[in-house]
């Protein structure tokens, strides 16, 4: 690369425009469905990803009405899948759940259902067999998803939760999964910076993903995290260069939104929701 090219690639990325900012509903775990959506709208945030537990608490019809009343568009419903793990001792039951989640997703106008594989079932130690099982489960979701018009956004998770949440950790391995599924009209990728920031091959894998990149979730990895699932940091408070990752996503052709998704039992879930959203808006200028 020429010197000029290098300098250009080091130039700071443009500030993320408001119309490309989404905040996942789970970021405001302290709120019920309505309060979280109204809080986002109050601050001019018009995109979210709906959290299944919150939707189940009020039902799809009421949820859809609240979203519409607040002119909120829905990038995704989270999380689905879970076809490999303890949730899926009975594969047919797991697939039936996913069909229901696809209906809910369609009912609230969500573009995607985010799917994770699930982890290893109780007593199981054959990781390879579980991966095969997850692949089979996803395969059987292709037709129902196609019929519902909702995309399936496959999200690999951090290797520390391989046992319990996702038997696929790297973007490259997720892409191998999508290759095997061979259904790009249905399946794409949800990239979560918290899950994949450590991967030395990440930039190359994102380039390989190209048009399969559907969603980009961000938060931060706190240097001395106390809990790999529920101690996520606010962008800017940890070690993830989310803006660099966004550049890699965009270099690969991604033009979607940046979706802030924070699980934080001890900190952000205990704060005043308006402060949480205000903080995200402040961090947008430098860290998203």
- Tell me the CA distances in angstroms from 235 to 12, 239, 250, 273, one per residue in order: 16, 9, 18, 16
Q: How far is the CB of 49 from Zn ion (least distance, A)?
A: 8
Q: Which two tokens stand for residue 275?
A: 């402060």
The contact mask relative to Zn ion for 100-139 (x = CB under 5 A, - = no) is ----------------------------------------
The span from the CA of 190 to the CA of 157, in Å, is 10
Nearer of residues 61 and 165 to Zn ion, judged by Cβ: 165
Q: Which two tokens stand for residue 36?
A: 């979280």
The number of residues that bind Zn ion (CB under 5 A) is 3
Nearer of residues 40 and 216 to Zn ion, judged by Cβ: 216
CA 76 to chain centre: 8
Residue 284 binding Zn ion, by CB under 5 A: no
Nearer of residues 92 and 115 to Zn ion, judged by Cβ: 115
Do the beta carbons of residue 195 and residue 174 sit within 8 Å?
no
| Sequence-ordered list of residues with C-beta below 8 angstroms from that of 83, at least 6 positions apart, any chain | 91, 94, 95, 98, 117, 118, 133, 134, 136, 137, 138, 141
Q: How far is the CB of 166 from Zn ion (least distance, A)?
A: 11
Q: How far is the CB of 233 from Zn ion (least distance, A)?
A: 14
The span from the CA of 236 to the CA of 222, in Å, is 10
Nearer of residues 133 and 217 to Zn ion, judged by Cβ: 217
The span from the CA of 188 to the CA of 48, in Å, is 18
Q: How far is the CB of 136 from Zn ion (least distance, A)?
A: 24
Nearer of residues 31 and 218 to Zn ion, judged by Cβ: 218
Q: How far is the CB of 190 from Zn ion (least distance, A)?
A: 6
The contact mask relative to Zn ion for 177-196 (x = CB under 5 A, - = no) is ---------------x----
Q: Which of 217, 246, 247, 283 binds Zn ion (CB under 5 A)?
A: 217
Nearer of residues 38 and 73 to Zn ion, judged by Cβ: 73
Q: How far is the CB of 157 from Zn ion (least distance, A)?
A: 8
CA 128 to chain centre: 24
Which residues, numbered 223-262, are part of the site for Zn ion (CB under 5 A)?
261
Longest dimension (CA), the chain: 58
**Which residues contribute to the site for Zn ion (CB under 5 A)?**
192, 217, 261
């Amino acid at each position: 690369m020429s010197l000029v090219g290098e300098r250009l690639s080091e130039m700071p990325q443009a500030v993320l425009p408001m119309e490309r900012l989404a905040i996942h509903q789970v970021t405001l775990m302290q709120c019920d469905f309505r309060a979280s959506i109204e809080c986002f709208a109050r601050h001019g945030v018009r995109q979210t990803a709906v959290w299944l537990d919150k939707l189940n608490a009020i039902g799809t019809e009421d949820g859809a009405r609240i979203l519409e009343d607040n002119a909120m568009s829905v990038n995704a419903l989270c999380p689905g899948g879970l076809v490999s793990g303890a949730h899926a001792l009975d594969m047919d039951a797991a697939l039936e759940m996913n069909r229901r989640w696809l209906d809910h997703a369609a009912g609230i106008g969500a573009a995607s259902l985010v799917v994770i594989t699930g982890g290893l079932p109780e007593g199981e130690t054959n990781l390879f067999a579980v991966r095969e099982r997850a692949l089979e489960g996803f395969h059987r979701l292709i037709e129902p998803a196609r019929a519902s018009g909702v995309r399936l956004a496959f999200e690999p998770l951090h290797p520390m939760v391989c046992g319990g949440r996702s038997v696929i950790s790297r973007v490259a391995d997720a892409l191998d999964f999508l290759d095997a599924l061979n259904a790009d009209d249905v399946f794409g990728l949800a990239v979560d910076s918290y899950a994949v920031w450590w991967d030395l091959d990440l930039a190359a894998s994102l380039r390989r993903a190209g048009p399969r990149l559907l969603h980009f979730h961000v938060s931060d990895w706190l240097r001395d995290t106390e809990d790999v699932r529920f101690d996520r940091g606010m962008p800017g408070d940890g070690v993830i260069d989310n803006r660099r990752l966004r550049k890699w996503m965009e270099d690969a052709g991604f033009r979607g939104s940046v979706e802030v998704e924070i699980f934080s039992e001890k900190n952000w879930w205990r704060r005043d929701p308006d402060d949480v959203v205000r903080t995200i808006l402040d961090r947008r200028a430098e860290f998203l």
